[in-house]
């Protein structure tokens, strides 16, 4: 199974960003990623200039260049997984109809090809072609988890192996059970995804609120907090608060990702 975003870090590291984006069907080019990194870094530098703390601006720029593209990739991944669950459910129902008509797994795949959703049709076409030239089912379906990126795919592969061995009415009953289980899994996955998305939004809001507070204090510093932004102790305090909030954000995001993976 392909490594999930957030298993070891809350966001994707830069040297793995483009491969991950393309695996999710996001046609991101190198120059586009460069523009995204530059804009994110520039936003952090701008905050530092606004606060008159240039060293902190560099730290903000580095963090934003890591976190903002990562948040965007997480959003793309969530949409991709939601779509893949819908497509796989449609594909399994199509296979079920074809299997009831012929009673054989290989023939059912062939009959289903014109009706499988276009986004995953090439995957099933490749499986069918490989089986036609004598490639065992296990090998023909090896790339499926990397293409679909769903944890339920392993279950589907086991069912496909059983169908190839069993055949007949018993296989049809097995597929009916698979459809009901997948629908139940999709419902639970949707509920979990909604809960995870809500927690992620909360962490974003809290961090943005902290940045807004910093900007607000800077704007009124001429009257009330001038020493806070123009003295070494004050600048060190603001820098410490920023990195403390950054550390808390990263820790919370890691806990959310662990919960999502489980």
Regarding predicted confidence, which is higher, 193 or 48? 48
Mean pLDDT of 130-136: 78
- Sign for the pseudo-dihedral over CA of 190, 193, 198, 199: positive
Assigned token pair, 165: 């061995």
Distances (CA, A) of 50 to 28, 57, 167, 212, 219: 31, 9, 69, 12, 9
pLDDT of 166-182, one tens digit each?
666 666 777 777 777 77
Please give the pLDDT value at position 43: 92
Check whether 3 has a pLDDT greater than 60: no
Regarding predicted confidence, which is higher, 166 or 47? 47
Check whether 199 has a pLDDT greater than 50: yes
Kindly indicate the confidence band of residue 39, based on its pLDDT and cuts at 50, 70 and 90: very high
Distances (CA, A) of 230 to 1, 87, 215, 222: 52, 57, 14, 10
Check whether 259 has a pLDDT greater than 50: yes
Check whether 34 has a pLDDT greater than 60: yes
Assigned token pair, 36: 């995204």
The total of other beta-carbon atoms located within 10 Å of residue 186's CB is 17
End-to-end CA distance of the chain: 14
Longest dimension (CA), the chain: 83
Determine what percent of the chain is predicted with pLDDT higher than 70. Answer: 82
Please give the pLDDT value at position 4: 45
One-character DSSP codes across the chain? -PPPTTSSSSS--HHHHHHHHHHTT----HHHHHHHHHHHHHHHHHHHHHHT-HHHHHHHHHHHHHHHHHHHHHHHHHHHHHHHHHHHHHHHHHHHHHHHHH--HHHHHHHHGGGS-TTTHHHHHHHHHHHHTT--HHHHTTTHHHHH--TTHHHHHHHHHHHHHH-HHHHHHHHHHHHHHHHHHHHHHHHHHHHHHHHHHHHHHHHHHHHHHHHHHHHTTTTT-HHHHHSHHHHHHHHHHHHHHHHHHHHHHHHHHHHHH-
Mean pLDDT, the chain, rounded, equals 79
Q: What is the value of pTM for the model shown?
A: 0.73
At residue 252, φ and ψ (nearest 5 deg) are -65, -40
Regarding predicted confidence, which is higher, 206 or 221? 206
Contacts of 58 (CB under 8 A, 6+ apart): 44, 45, 48
Please give the pLDDT value at position 38: 93
Pick from 10-24, 25-39, 70-84, 114-128: least confident: 10-24
Please give the pLDDT value at position 61: 92
Determine what percent of the chain is predicted with pLDDT higher than 90. Answer: 7
Kindly indicate the confidence band of residue 221, based on its pLDDT and cuts at 50, 70 and 90: confident
Kindly indicate the confidence band of residue 146, based on its pLDDT and cuts at 50, 70 and 90: low
Regarding predicted confidence, which is higher, 7 or 220? 220
Check whether 226 has a pLDDT greater than 80: no
Mean pLDDT of 64-69: 90
CB of 240 closer than 8 Å to CB of 250: no
């Amino acid at each position: 199974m392909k490594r999930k975003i957030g298993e070891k870090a809350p966001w994707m590291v830069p040297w793995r960003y483009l491969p991950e984006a393309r695996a999710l069907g996001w046609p991101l080019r190198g120059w586009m990623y460069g523009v995204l990194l530059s804009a994110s870094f520039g936003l952090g530098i701008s905050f530092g200039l606004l606060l008159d703390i240039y060293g902190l601006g560099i730290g903000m720029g580095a963090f934003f260049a890591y976190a903002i593209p990562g948040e965007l990739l997480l959003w793309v991944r969530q949409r991709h997984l939601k779509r893949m669950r819908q497509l796989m459910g449609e594909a399994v129902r199509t296979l079920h109809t074809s299997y009831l008509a012929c009673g054989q797994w290989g023939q059912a795949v062939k009959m289903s090809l014109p009706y499988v959703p276009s986004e995953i049709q090439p995957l099933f076409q490749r499986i069918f072609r490989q089986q036609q030239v004598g490639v065992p089912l296990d090998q023909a379906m090896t790339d499926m988890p990397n293409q679909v990126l769903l944890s339920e795919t392993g279950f589907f592969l086991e069912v496909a192996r059983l169908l190839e061995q069993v055949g007949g009415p018993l296989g049809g009953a097995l597929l009916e059970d698979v459809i009901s289980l997948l629908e139940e899994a999709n419902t639970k996955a949707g509920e979990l995804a909604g809960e995870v998305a809500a927690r992620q939004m909360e962490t974003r809001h809290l961090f943005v609120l902290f940045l807004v507070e910093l900007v607000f204090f800077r704007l009124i510093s001429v009257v009330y907090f001038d020493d806070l932004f123009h003295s070494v102790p004050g600048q060190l305090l603001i820098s410490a608060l920023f990195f403390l909030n950054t550390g808390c954000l990263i820790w919370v995001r890691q806990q959310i990702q662990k919960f999502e993976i489980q």
